[in-house]
Chain A
C-alpha cells in the first residue's frame, strides 16, 4: 500500500528531531564514556582500567555495598508498596488524606529528607534515640550512623521510607486498571479473599510490579544523594556505594578515565539486572 508507506516515511520524519535529541543526550555520553574508559590522556590503553578495577579493594567493597543495598531495599519497597496500594485501594473515611500523606515522602527532595534523617539519627539530640530510650528498648544512646551495621540499617530505612510511595503509586494505578467484573465473576465461583488476590490481583499486577522493580533497581544501583548526606560513605567506608566512589574519582581526584571505567561497569550491571527481570518475569502477555 503506497499511501501507508508514505505515511510511514512521514512519520519517521516527524520523530527524527526527537530521535536526534535523544541520541545527543543519551547515546553520546555513553559512547564518550566508553571511549574514555579505554584511553588515558588520549592514548589507547586497552583493558588496563578494567584489570585495575578488579584489583581495587575499595571498588570491590563499594560494589558489595551497592548490591547489598539494592537487594535489601528494593524487595522491601515492593512488599510495603504492595501492602499500601492494597489498603489505599479500599474505600474508607479520610482516604484522600491518607493517600496524600503516604505519597508525601516521594515528593520531598532526597537531600532534604536525608538531612532530616541525619538529625533524627543523631546520638545526642536525635529523636530516634529519645523515643527508644523512653520506650526502654535501648539502655543507652546509640550512635546510629557511627557503626557499620547500624549505619547500613539507617540508610536502608531512609531509602525505603522515601521510595515506597513510588511503588505504591504505580501499583495503585495497576489495581485501578483491573476490571471489577473479574472480581465479581470469581466471587460468584465462590473464591475467598486470598484466592482473589492470588488468582486475579497478583497476575494482573505483574506488568506494574515489573515496572516498579526495574525503576527501583536501576535507581538503587545508582544511589547517591541520601548516602552522601547521611554517612558520606562512612563509617570506615562501610556504606560507600559505587556512585560515591565514581564521584570522588572524577571530580576530586580528576581521574576521568578510571571513573568512566566504573561508570561503564555499573551500566553493564544495570543492563544485566534489567535483562534478567524481563527474561524471567516479563515475557508472558496477559489476556483478559
Chain B
C-alpha cells in the first residue's frame, strides 16, 4: 500500500516538474494541409530564432468554407482556440464587424507600401487594417500558345478578339473556345465581377452607392449569356464548373482559353501534362475602349481578440510575411507572394518566367466589395447570374430583382 502511494506521488511530481521548466508561449492558427511543407519550414525557422515561442499550425481541411466555419465556431464560443486568423480576403469585413479581430495599425503602417496595393485595400475595414497579406491571388486568362501561333493570332486584348479567335479555331465538343467558373458558387461572382469591371460597371461606386443595375451591368450579363448561347464558344456545362473542372478541360487540351487563378500554371507545366510548354498567361480581356481588371483573392494573417499572447502573434506575423519567409513559402509551396519586391527576385524569375506578367495583373486586381454583408450580397448575385446563364431570366430582369434584394439586405 505504502509503495503504491509513494509511486503515485512520485509520478504526479515528476509529471508536474517535467512540464514546469519549459514554459513557452504557445500560439496557434488554423491553416490548410500545407502541400510542399513551406509553412512547416518557416515555422521551425521562426522557433529557432525565438526559442520562447511555440507556433502550432493546425492543418485544416482544403475547403475554405469549412475552415471559415471552424473559425466562426470558436469565435462564437469566445475561446482562444486560434490566436491568429489565417484568413481569406473576403472574411475581413465580416469578422472585423463582429469585433473578433484586433486592428493592426499600431505596428503595420510604414511597411504597407511594400505590399501589392489590392491586398492592402482588401485588408482594411472602416479605416483600420486587420490583416497582413501573405498570399496574393487574381484571375488570369490562360491560352494555348501553340494553337494561336499556328494560325498567326496574337493573344487577345479584348473580348471581341477572344470571340473571333475562338470561333475560328474551335471544334466543339472536342475543342471549345473559352471556359470559366460558372457554377452557382463564389467563383461565379469573381468571374462576373471581372467581366462587369471590364465593361466599365461596378457593384458599388466610390461613395458606396449601389450601381449594379446599370447599362454596363446589363451588357456584362448579356455578354456572359451570349458566350454560351449566341457565340457558342463556351459549353452549356459551364454552369456546373468550378476551378478544377475548368483546369481538367484545359489541361486535356479541350479548350483554347480558360479563366483561372495562378495556381493552375504549375499544374499545366508538370511532366505528364498534355499541354506542357503550350500555355501562355495574359490579363483578362476587356471591352473595346475599357480596361481589364482581375478579381483579387488571397490569404493573410489577423489576430483574434480572444488571444492571450498578442505580442507573440505580432512577432510571428512580422516574420512569416517578411521577404525571406515569403520567398521560402513560394519556393516550397508555390505561394504567390504579396511583397512587390519578390516579383523581381532572380531566383523566383528563373522558375517563373510568367511572373512579370502576373505582377502587372496583380497590380490592377481589385478586391470584391469590402462589406460586412458581402456573403449575402454575393449569394444574391450568384443566384441571379446563374439564372441568366441558364436562360431563365433576361439580364435586365435579373439585375432588377437582384438590386431589389441587395437593397433589402443593405437596409437591415
Contact = CB atoms under 8 A, between A and B. Distances in A.
A55 to B, nearest CB: 11
Interface in A205-238: 231-237
Given A147-B390, A236-B383, A123 B72 contact: no
Contacts, number: 87
B235 A123 contact: yes
B239 A235 contact: yes
Nearest to A57: B405
Contacts of B243: none
Given A124-B254, A125-B252, A251-B69, A237 B184 contact: yes
B240 A123 contact: yes
Interface residues of A, number: 25
A236 B392 contact: yes
Q: Is the interface of B mostly helix, strand, loop or mixed?
A: helix
Nearest to A125: B248
20 contacts: A121-B240, A124-B254, A140-B173, A141-B173, A143-B239, A145-B239, A146-B236, A231-B183, A232-B183, A233-B184, A234-B185, A234-B382, A235-B387, A236-B387, A237-B386, A237-B387, A248-B379, A251-B68, A251-B72, A252-B375
A196 B78 CA distance: 63
Interface of B: 65, 68-69, 72, 94, 98, 173, 183-185, 235-240, 245, 248-249, 252, 254, 373, 375-376, 379, 382-384, 386-387, 390, 392
Contacts of B240: 121-123, 143-146, 231, 234-235
A232 B68 CA distance: 17
B237 A253 contact: no
Q: Is the interface of A mostly helix, strand, loop or mixed?
A: loop
A122 B238 CA distance: 10
Contacts of A237: 184, 383, 386-387
Contacts of B252: 125
B390 A141 contact: no
B386 A235 contact: yes
B368 to A, nearest CB: 14
Contacts of A253: 373, 375-376
Contacts of A248: 375, 379
Contact of B237 (A124, A148, A232): A124
Nearest to A123: B237
